[in-house]
Amino acid sequence: MAELTYRAAVARGIAQEMERDPNVVLIGEDVAAAGGVFKTTEGLFERFGPNRVRDTPISEEAIIGAIMGAAMNGLRPIGELMFSDFLATCWDIVANQIAKTRYMTGGQVALPLVIRTANGGGNRFGGQHAQSVENWAMAVPGLKVVAPSTPSDVIGLMAAAVRDPNPVVFFEHKKLFAAKQEVPEGEIVDRLGAATIRNPGSDVTIVALAAMVSVAEEAAVVLAASGVSAEVIDLRTLVPLDTKTLLESVSRTGRLVTVEENPRLCGWGAEITSIVVEEGFWHLDAPIVRVTTPHIPLPAAAELEDLAIPSSEQVVAAVQRME
């Protein structure tokens, strides 16, 4: 058991899969000798060499087009987009080509690829480099969507993503890169579509993702001091979505709060709200509450960004407002 940062876990998770399967390759801007702009790929170039860890031009279209072609020809490529915001520049390839190829070829052409990208705010990067866009990918049929909150989950879910026969968009939250956790030695392999209960509770279910998980956990501590038992669920993957864990939790607690870094309009919490109302309405003892970022471009100013992104205080207040 060794303490590992979230950013080091990214490199370990990729290395684990590259060691296991010679068809796994990594490409992206500055992922080789530089070790990545966020230092998430340090050591991989030295360990696996220039044929399997390759730098690319500053072109998201080139990166995504290359991994699509590589996957069609027998490799299992991992492509890094420096910022998730830049999915917008190659969205046609992701949404209209990669997501649909296996379906439209009747399974004759599989695309076992992973698109890694740094997601989310909190680092004062401004509206074009700090968005949480996992709901973009969630809306496209054919893509699987992963957003881990801990170093251990980074490794295990990276393994699951690389081994999956379908394209996976893997969101790494920038604010979590320095977060640390004790992680076991040896191979770690998780599965997509399994949420985790981070804090058991009986009075309210709080559902969160990525950096919002720690926000929800902090809120649970404050609520516990006032006699409210909050169950915190870390979704981990949006597609596939673990509706079983969600509905079972709501059936026990009778209340649901979602904590989303997405802008409010069409955030993933809206889909979860729809599912719970449709399939678990009679378990609810109060209206569902969504705590979200406002529907605005994320500010770069520290004070404004902190106001925009959900906080534990906002979550506590949301729970206390419930009947």
3-state secondary structure of 273: helix
- Enter the DSSP assignment of 301: S
Residues 53-81: tens digit of each pLDDT: 999 999 999 999 999 999 999 999 999 99
Q: How far apart are CA 323 and CA 315, in angstroms?
A: 15
Q: How far apart are CA 230 and CA 159, in angstroms?
A: 31
Catalytic site positions:
129
* Chain position carrying tokens 């720690």: 214
Q: Which CATH number fits domain 2-183: 3.40.50.970, 3.40.50.720, 3.30.1520.10, 1.10.3720.10?
A: 3.40.50.970
- What is the DSSP secondary-structure string of 42-100? TTHHHHH-TTTEEE--S-HHHHHHHHHHHHHTT-EEEEEEEEGGGGGGGHIIIIIIITT
- Enter the DSSP assignment of 270: H
CATH 1.10.3720.10 holds for 196-321 = no
* CATH fold match for the domains 2-183 and 196-321: yes
Cα dihedral across residues 221, 148, 194, 139: positive or negative: positive
pTM here is: 0.97
| pLDDT mean over 179-201 | 97
Tokens of 203: 């009075």
Q: How far apart are CA 222 and CA 209, in angstroms?
A: 19
Residues 285-318: tens digit of each pLDDT: 999 999 999 999 999 999 999 999 999 999 999 9
- Enter the DSSP assignment of 266: T
pLDDT score at 302: 94
Closest C-alpha to 171, from 130, 228, 225, 127? 130
Sketch the domain layout of the chain as residue ranges: 2-183, 196-321
Helices 243-253 + 268-280 axis angle, to 10: 60
